[in-house]
């Protein structure tokens, strides 16, 4: 197997491109794909302050590393979910990566700051763990980006993630979500700009990137992911991809090119008419936001205001 660029020994084959790469040209290929996504979708300006949502897994550490390599000024943000050993190990990977490169990792620990954890809190609130977890993370990511004055929030969603979400939303015709499934969501009142620069790379490629770069990431799946439909959609798409290399790419990018605009009006309607949450000030259709209601039902509490330099998020108040 030879590298398509230099004819040296290749370490990875990328079937959807019908190409093999040596280590250096694979790194170059990853940087090229991320740059292409950033340029094509105007994701990040060179002077932007970037906040990367970091879980300690391969995708978030790979995109943090790639953004630093590409010269962006990027801090990391980690949310402790209180999922036992899984959370402890994931935090140690995120912290070790930041330390090894002299980067800043902001951290909010939900049990410490909000008084609940995802396994018991989701049960108490009668929500599926991933639903409570996703809601908590989205709220805290947005708050951290806005309160830290960051220009853009980066998440590590890759092509497999986006194709699987698209598959699920199409299967059930969640049209209000289809209009929002874009690699860039612009900033608007109460929401930071959110971007997904890894959408041109698969999870096999982000894993290979970390392995070849010596980035130690959390390999284990979250124990709460068992039975998660998202994983079964990924498996279904992987089966299709084996028989038809490039299927995921054409499914997702074909949707962006040809279909997503048809669903945009419905998604816009969904985001209109928001007002500040009575408890935390985050945008919500009315009254108290879904996150504050979750905190309440999960038996938690709102955090005490603490200085930002201690790494926690201050409580916002409505004006």
Site residues (vs ligand Q46, CB under 6 A): 118, 129-130, 133-134, 222, 224-225
CA distances (Å), 212 to each of 11, 30, 176, 315, in order? Answer: 9, 12, 39, 41
Q: Which does 106 bind (CB under 5 to 8 A by kind): ligand Q46, Zn ion, none?
A: none
Side-chain half-sphere CA neighbours of 18 within 13 A: 1
Q: Spell out the residues 6+ positions from residue 101 whose beta carbon is closer than 8 angstroms to its own.
A: 65, 68
State which of residues 1, 2, 6, 301 lies at the interface with Zn ion (CB under 5 A): 6
Nearest C-alpha neighbor of 201 from the set 46, 29, 2, 70: 29
Provide the 10 A C-beta neighbour count for residue 310: 8
State which of residues 164, 218, 292, 295 lies at the interface with Zn ion (CB under 5 A): 292
- 134 versus 285: smaller Cβ distance to ligand Q46: 134
| Region near Zn ion per CB under 5 A, out of 6-14, 220-228, 244-252, 253-261 | 6-14
Q: Can you list the pairs that 3-10 forms with residues at least 24 positions away whose Cβ atoms lie under 8 Å?
A: none
280 contributes a contact to Zn ion by CB under 5 A: yes
Residues 19-48 that bind Zn ion (CB under 5 A): 22, 25
3 contributes a contact to Zn ion by CB under 5 A: yes
CB of 108: closest distance to Zn ion in angstroms? 15
Buried b / exposed e along 151-161 (16+ C-beta atoms within 10 A): bbbbbbbbbbb
- 129 versus 281: smaller Cβ distance to ligand Q46: 129
- Residues of this chain that bind Zn ion (CB under 5 A): 3, 5-6, 8, 22, 25, 277, 279-280, 282, 289, 292
């Amino acid at each position: 197997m030879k590298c398509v660029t230099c004819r040296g020994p290749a370490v990875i084959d990328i079937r959807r491109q019908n190409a093999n790469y040596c280590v250096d040209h694979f790194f170059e290929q990853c940087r090229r794909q991320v740059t292409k996504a950033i340029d094509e979708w105007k994701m990040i300006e060179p002077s932007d302050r970037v906040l990367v949502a970091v879980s300690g897994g391969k995708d978030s550490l790979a995109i943090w590393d790639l953004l630093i390599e590409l010269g962006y000024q990027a801090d990391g943000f980690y949310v402790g979910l209180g999922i036992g050993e899984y959370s402890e190990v994931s935090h140690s990977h995120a912290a070790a990566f930041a330390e090894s490169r002299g980067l800043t990792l902001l951290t909010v620990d939900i049990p410490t700051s909000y008084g609940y954890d995802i396994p018991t809190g989701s049960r108490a609130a009668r929500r599926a763990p991933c639903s409570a977890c996703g809601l908590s993370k989205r709220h805290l990511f947005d708050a951290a980006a806005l309160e830290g004055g960051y220009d853009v929030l980066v998440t590590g969603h890759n092509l497999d993630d986006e194709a699987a979400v698209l598959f699920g939303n199409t299967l059930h015709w969640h049209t209000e979500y289809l209009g929002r499934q874009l690699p860039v969501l612009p900033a608007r009142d109460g929401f930071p700009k959110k971007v997904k620069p890894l959408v041109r790379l698969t999870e096999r490629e982000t894993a290979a990137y970390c392995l070849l770069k010596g980035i130690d990431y959390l390999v284990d799946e979250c124990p709460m992911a068992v039975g998660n439909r998202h994983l079964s959609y990924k498996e279904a798409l992987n089966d299709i991809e084996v028989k038809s290399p490039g299927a995921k790419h054409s499914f997702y990018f074909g949707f962006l090119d040809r279909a997503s605009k048809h669903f945009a009006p419905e998604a816009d309607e969904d985001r209109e008419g928001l007002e500040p949450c009575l408890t935390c000030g985050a945008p919500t259709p009315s009254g108290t936001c879904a996150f504050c209601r979750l905190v309440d039902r999960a038996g938690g509490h709102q955090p005490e205001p603490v200085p930002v330099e201690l790494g926690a998020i201050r409580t916002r108040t409505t004006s």
